[in-house]
């Protein structure tokens, strides 16, 4: 990966990262819009057309100046099919549920059903328990579906935000992708040394940023190989048309001043993903 990728995220204050922004009702979340490096190639005809369409519907040009539709558990195709109505309703931005791969034991898209424990009716929460950081899952659709949805959003000047979860994986470890394990140096390197110990003291920053939250094993977000892998996922989302990200469980990822996990030498996930520091590769 280039030291300065074409796509960079806006810098956020450490306080926002530490405590999270209660933007969509989840205190442990933060919203990060995307900004591109100022270069001539970023001023494309597509960008100008999108701005023109936004003006047509009276939509704000900046994500943070307009209304966001949280299309929770809407499939990419459902969002695409309703894009004209979304624009007419005045929404500047659509926020999708997590696009990462997740468990796919059952193919039913119900949000709630008769079996909320085993999920035989479908589990919305699986989207928030990644098995790999690649685009597409059975609940929302494929990478091509996501790309087509973003192209449709451009026609109306609507921005697309994707919910992303770098903090943890599914607790069903056999379901985690072998490609992911290989990319980060093996299963042991994917998780914090403290990553399978449940958080008991929620005011303790060491526990909250390295421990297991609600049974979800905590990812070693300071591992340079993981950072590079996760950034490939973000850049693929951007290449498909994403305009920003909402970080789930943001307060559970350490900032530079937080205590270190035994496997970490620096808490630098946020400086790397915001472009203040270079990623590996």
Domains of the chain: 7-273 (3.20.20.80)
Q: Band the pLDDT of 135: cuts 50, 70, 90.
A: very high
| Secondary structure (3-state) at 233 | helix
pLDDT at 60: 83
The model's pLDDT over 68-79, given as tens digits with 9 standing for 90+, comes to 999 998 999 999
Structure tokens at 211: 């421990």
pLDDT at 15: 25
Distances in Å between the Cα of 217 and the Cα atoms of 3, 20, 125, 167, 194 are: 30, 20, 15, 9, 9
Contact 24, 95 (CB under 8 A): yes
Q: What is the DSSP letter of 199?
A: P
**CB 147: neighbour CB atoms within 10 A?**
18
pLDDT at 55: 73
The model's pLDDT over 82-98, given as tens digits with 9 standing for 90+, comes to 999 999 999 999 999 99
**Higher-confidence position of 154 and 47:** 154
- The beta strand positions in 113-222, using DSSP E, are 132-135, 159-164
The burial of 228, by beta-carbon neighbours within 10 Å (0-12 exposed, 13-18 middle, 19 or more buried), is given as middle
pLDDT at 82: 98
Mean pLDDT to the nearest integer, 119-144: 87
Global confidence as pTM: 0.82
Mean pLDDT to the nearest integer, 240-244: 96
Helical residues (DSSP H) of the chain, grouped into ranges? 14-19, 45-56, 76-81, 83-88, 143-155, 178-183, 187-190, 205-210, 224-240, 269-273
pLDDT at 18: 29
Residue with the two structure tokens 């300071």 = 222
**Higher-confidence position of 15 and 242:** 242
Return the minimum-mean-pLDDT range out of 19-33, 51-65, 157-171: 19-33
| Closest by Cα among 200, 214, 192 to 258 | 192
| CA 258 – CA 133 distance, rounded (Å) | 25
């Amino acid at each position: 990966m280039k030291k300065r990728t074409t796509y960079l995220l806006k810098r956020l204050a450490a306080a926002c990262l530490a405590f999270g922004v209660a933007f969509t009702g989840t205190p442990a979340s933060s919203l990060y819009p995307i900004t591109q490096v100022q270069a001539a190639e970023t001023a494309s005809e597509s960008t100008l057309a999108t701005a023109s369409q936004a003006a047509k519907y009276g939509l704000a040009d900046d994500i943070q100046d307009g209304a966001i539709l949280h299309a929770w558990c809407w499939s990419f195709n459902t969002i695409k099919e309703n894009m004209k109505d979304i624009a007419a309703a005045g929404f500047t931005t659509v926020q999708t549920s997590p696009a990462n791969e997740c468990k796919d034991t059952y193919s039913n898209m119900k949000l709630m059903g008769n079996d909320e424990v085993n999920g035989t009716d479908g589990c919305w929460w699986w989207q928030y328990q990644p098995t790999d950081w690649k685009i597409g899952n059975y609940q929302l659709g494929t990478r091509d579906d996501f790309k087509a949805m973003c192209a449709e959003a451009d026609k109306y000047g609507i921005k697309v935000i994707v919910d992303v979860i770098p903090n943890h994986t599914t607790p069903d470890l056999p379901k985690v992708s072998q490609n992911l394990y290989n990319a980060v140096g093996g299963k042991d390197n994917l998780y914090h040394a403290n990553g399978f110990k449940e958080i008991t003291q929620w005011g303790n920053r060491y526990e909250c940023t390295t421990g297991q939250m609600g049974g979800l094993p905590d990812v070693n977000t300071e591992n340079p190989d993981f950072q590079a892998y996760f950034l490939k996922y973000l850049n693929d989302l951007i290449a498909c048309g994403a305009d920003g990200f909402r970080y789930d469980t943001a307060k559970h990822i350490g900032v530079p001043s937080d205590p270190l996990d035994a496997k970490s030498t620096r808490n630098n996930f946020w400086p790397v993903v915001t472009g203040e520091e270079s990623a590996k590769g």
